[in-house]
Structure 1
């Protein structure tokens, strides 16, 4: 969620009221009145022509000041923010008026230079947003952290900070900020923003499957294409019943892929029980056995199978920790879930999703 730049200009628009045109020569007064009329009708060419005439006719300091004030008002009204700012800067307009105008004009360097020396929250917002627009995400992170330190951890600042951290590749900082956001508001809406963004990450199929499980659990898995992808990954990982449930939510489909997945899910469900028992017996295949039990909704047996895979300390150990945690969440064992997620090696490719599941478990109910 971004702070609307139009909010930053509001104070400027209010401050640049229609200036009085008294105490000037008739030639200047006529030109200024023409500029005001052109501004009212949003006639940019008319504004430029009238301001040009007023500048040419102005001979005193007062006339030049009133011309500059009218230029600020009229150019702002027709969206010529750079010209408005330049005119007002010549007569010493305040920084909280100039900064937003240069920002709207797209002159980010000028806007930032002014805003950095201008007190107030709006100026700090402008610096942060300007850094974001310029693609300087590290500077944006610093600016949002300063905003939060000065004005409190408002959700809009945390959201923008998380966005800057994500774009800069600061995964650790991003997750820390997301933790702060969700701890204050663990609503489905908040989870949806986070998890749909994470779908764009490159991740292992096991991590993507765990992400889909989290989306399902938080009520944010809605699109048929996502449900179909969830079913595909669940089938690959031996969670046939999970795949069938996901496909059922799509309402079926007549396309070849949907029919193929539905047939595979039905066949998998038919043999999932015996497969779960058989695979769980050996540490070498216990992870797959846990997946089968997870699909069947037998969370206690799933956890026991995953424990066997973890004890074997093979390649599946961190995958098993994540899915053991998922089984524990679904089985109502919060403490066991958090312990499992926290045991995941951050470098295993499962660390990020484990952190999010741990956050969900910690904020649940």
Structure 2
């Protein structure tokens, strides 16, 4: 992240007994207004020399005159205008250290108006941040927030500086505060704000990160956001086996599989679970999306393995379905439902998942998750929602992501 400062200070001095007209930073006022300064008699000659050196563009003479003026300064107005000269010179010479020193001098002079201080602190924070002085940047943004508690940019920038100082938890709380303020005002927060809050919460290993992934996906349901959100969920909760398979299936349903690794992981997991039809379908989808090259050894071998089993596997399903319906428990019904799901026969899969739930002796949370998946893919949204809402325990969060997908489904 790089902040942009908004400095645009211009100075027109009329030394010799009258006044100085100063135009403070443009962002600090609607229009420049003439300001009267009360210079000390001791500082006037030095100020005149400083103005002369500035107009001549002679850096050596300017630095000499600057030191002399600083030594001669007696009051706030003296110090403030000297710092303005210093700042203009730093801007003209693109001297970042000089800008920082000048802005700090303007603030410390006591001569800056209340209207100017927010812009000065904003620029001080921006320049310090870009130089890597995050402590100074954070302090500047805190001062700005004291002056303007509702300044959204200051809140976000302070969060960034705190994060760079190794304090992601405090930074995350600040960005979340801005999110909540926007939502309370009936606004949709910018996508970048959600992402900043999520990145900070994830860095802090906060459980809030999972909630933020859902908020991001709900507001901005892009394929990339779906993938990022689900990958963060996986890294934080570490689902394995069936839970990871169902997470990858959701990634596929949300069109969020991205690249060879994702397609291979899902296809390999399905094939290992004895679902060759699903494994082949995933690889075929990857080829169609031009995301994978099926002639590569890993995909070629996996496709050959799955394809060799498909005909026999599919032919066995009617018999397995009959046995499952006659079985005393729901284990075979659940497994046969998985097979039908893999072949895209969601109606039969749903019927078998319902049978598995009725017969029992299975994990009801797995069955309800997959019942919701099958019904959702079959277009039965109300029934799918009921199934997902029946999921409890460790799978509840995963079911929550499926519910989010269901709500976005046309």
TM-score range, shorter chain: 0.7 to 0.9
Alignment pair present for 1:233 and 2:230: no
Structure-2 change in CA distance of 1:231 and 1:308 (3 Å) = same
CA distance, structure 2, for counterparts of residue 195 and residue 73 of structure 1: 50
Give the count of matched residue pairs: 344
Contact 1:140 1:164 in 2 (8 A): yes
Contact 1:88 1:98 in 2 (8 A): no
> Structure 1 stretches of 5 or more lacking a match?
39-45
Decide which of 291, 311, 314 is 1:273's aligned counterpart. 314
Contact 2:3 2:126 in 1 (8 A): no
Structure-2 change in CA distance of 1:217 and 1:276 (3 Å) = same
CA distance, structure 2, for counterparts of residue 124 and residue 270 of structure 1: 60
Q: Deviations over 1:219-245 (max 9, x none)?
A: 222312211111111212233222112
Shift of 1:159: 3.2
Decide which of 150, 159, 166 is 1:128's aligned counterpart. 159
CA distance, structure 2, for counterparts of residue 159 and residue 87 of structure 1: 36
Query: Which aligned pairs between 1:166-185 and structure 2 lie closer than 5 A?
Result: 166-171=202-207, 173-185=208-220
Decide which of 89, 92, 102 is 2:125's aligned counterpart. 102
Residue matched to 2:82? 67
Residue matched to 2:405? 360
Q: Deviations over 1:294-345 (max 9, x none)?
A: 0111112111222344345556432222222211111111112222222222
Secondary structure of 1:219 counterpart: coil
CA distance, structure 1, for counterparts of residue 405 and residue 265 of structure 2: 22
Contact 1:22 1:29 in 2 (8 A): no
Alignment pair present for 1:114 and 2:143: yes
Residue matched to 2:221? 186
Higher relative contact order (CA 8 A, sep 6+): 1
Shift of 1:69: 1.6
Residue matched to 1:55? 67
Residue matched to 1:88? 106
Q: Deviations over 1:129-152 (max 9, x none)?
A: 333333433323332233234444
Residue matched to 1:42? none
Q: CA RMSD in A?
A: 3.1
Shift of 1:22: 4.7
Q: Deviations over 1:17-58 (max 9, x none)?
A: 143355364532244347xx59xxxxxxx69x9446512344
Query: Which aligned pairs between 1:133-282 and structure 2 lie closer than 5 A?
Result: 133-151=164-182, 152=185, 153-155=188-190, 156-171=192-207, 173-188=208-223, 190-195=225-230, 197-198=232-233, 200-201=235-236, 202-248=238-284, 249-250=286-287, 252-277=293-318, 279-280=320-321, 281=324, 282=327
Residue matched to 1:351? 396
Decide which of 326, 330, 355 is 2:373's aligned counterpart. 326
TM-score normalised by L of structure 1 = 0.80
CA distance, structure 2, for counterparts of residue 170 and residue 311 of structure 1: 38
CA distance, structure 1, for counterparts of residue 62 and residue 316 of structure 2: 84
CA distance, structure 2, for counterparts of residue 113 and residue 315 of structure 1: 56
Structure-2 change in CA distance of 1:64 and 1:323 (3 Å) = same
CA distance, structure 2, for counterparts of residue 179 and residue 85 of structure 1: 42
Whichever structure has more helix as a proportion of its residues is: 1
